[in-house]
A = this chain, B = another copy of it.
Amino acid sequence: MQFSSALLENAVNEFAKLPGIGKKTALRLVLHLLKQEPEKVGLFGEAIIKMRREIRFCQRCYNVADADICSICSNSMRRQELVCVVENIRDVIAIESTQQFSGTYHILGGIISPLDGIGPDQLHIEALIQRVQKEKIEEIIFALNPNIQGDTTIYYIQKKLQSYPVRVTTIARGIAFGGELEYADEMTLARSITNRLPVESYVSNR
């Protein structure tokens, strides 16, 4: 691409560094911003710079926060004895959007994956054990993606938690709502038969 303005070229190149944004899309976005008022574009740029510079990570659960402790951990209405263990911030946002969970979180920052060189020491696992030691946690709920790495991580942490009086659970896996039996993979289908539910509990949860 040939540009007649270095300012334009620079802005397009910066946008094109973002994942999934090619040169053509970057140009479209920059030309859109060029049509906006300078004040609005200033707000856009400053929101991003400020976010990166000032955002912190909760000292307790490692969620993104505007202070030392995130708004979920510091909310006294939430059940502090219930901790949902997730891989990353995106999972917290997904679960929060269901508005069905009233406990707190613990963000591991990844999952154990030897092939990617990620071992237990790179994750916030030790911090979770310390929380179980210090806080009055009654239940740890694992909400990790259902794959080998997720299961390995659950197995590793569960072993570490064996000596503590804490209930350890995992979110249910099975056929998704709206999913069709014949298209489900064998693993999911097999597990959903093994972990079958009494009809009464299924009906009452609807």
Contact = CB atoms under 8 A, between A and B. Distances in A.
B48 A41 contact: yes
A34 interface: yes
B52 A1 contact: no
B55 A7 contact: yes
Interface stretch (A58-66, A154-162, A187-195): A58-66
Interface string A44-61: 111111111111001000
Interface string A85-112: 0000110110011010000000000000
B1 A47 contact: no
A118 interface: no
Given A11-B47, A14-B47, A51-B30, A5 B41 contact: no
B5 A71 contact: yes
21 contacts: A1-B97, A2-B97, A3-B64, A3-B93, A4-B64, A5-B64, A5-B71, A7-B50, A8-B55, A10-B50, A20-B25, A27-B90, A31-B89, A34-B52, A34-B55, A41-B48, A41-B53, A42-B49, A42-B52, A45-B46, A45-B48
